[in-house]
Amino acid sequence: MLNSLISKAFQLFSTDAPKHSEAWMQLIQKISEASDLDQKTHAQAKIISVLKNITLNEYFKKAIEKSIEKDKELIKKMGD
């Protein structure tokens, strides 16, 4: 099940460059630990980004853009 959620490119990266892959995973873990999001929210965001085959940063960027669009009138009032 888990392998079906991991992109083929990352699986190849893990196989062909295991030390680099391990360092990458450690970096991701440290970033996750430093996140201001609670663990459940962060984990859900990671799962969704994997399922959508996009990076976590791309997922956050799209979520923020969507929220800004939703609150455009509020932002417009701030400029007045």
- Whether the pLDDT of residue 1 is over 50: the answer is no
Instruction: Give residue 3's pLDDT.
Output: 56
pLDDT digits 0-9 by tens, 37-56:
788 888 898 899 999 999 99
Instruction: Give residue 10's pLDDT.
Output: 77
Instruction: Give residue 40's pLDDT.
Output: 86
- Whether the pLDDT of residue 18 is over 60: the answer is yes
- Is residue 42 within 8 Å of residue 32, measured between CB atoms? yes
Asked whether the whole model's pTM tops 0.75, one would answer no
First-to-last alpha carbon distance for the chain, in angstroms, is 52
**Which of 16-20, 26-30, 66-70 shows the lowest per-residue confidence on average (mean pLDDT)?**
26-30
**Dihedral (CA of 11, 13, 34, 72) sign:** negative
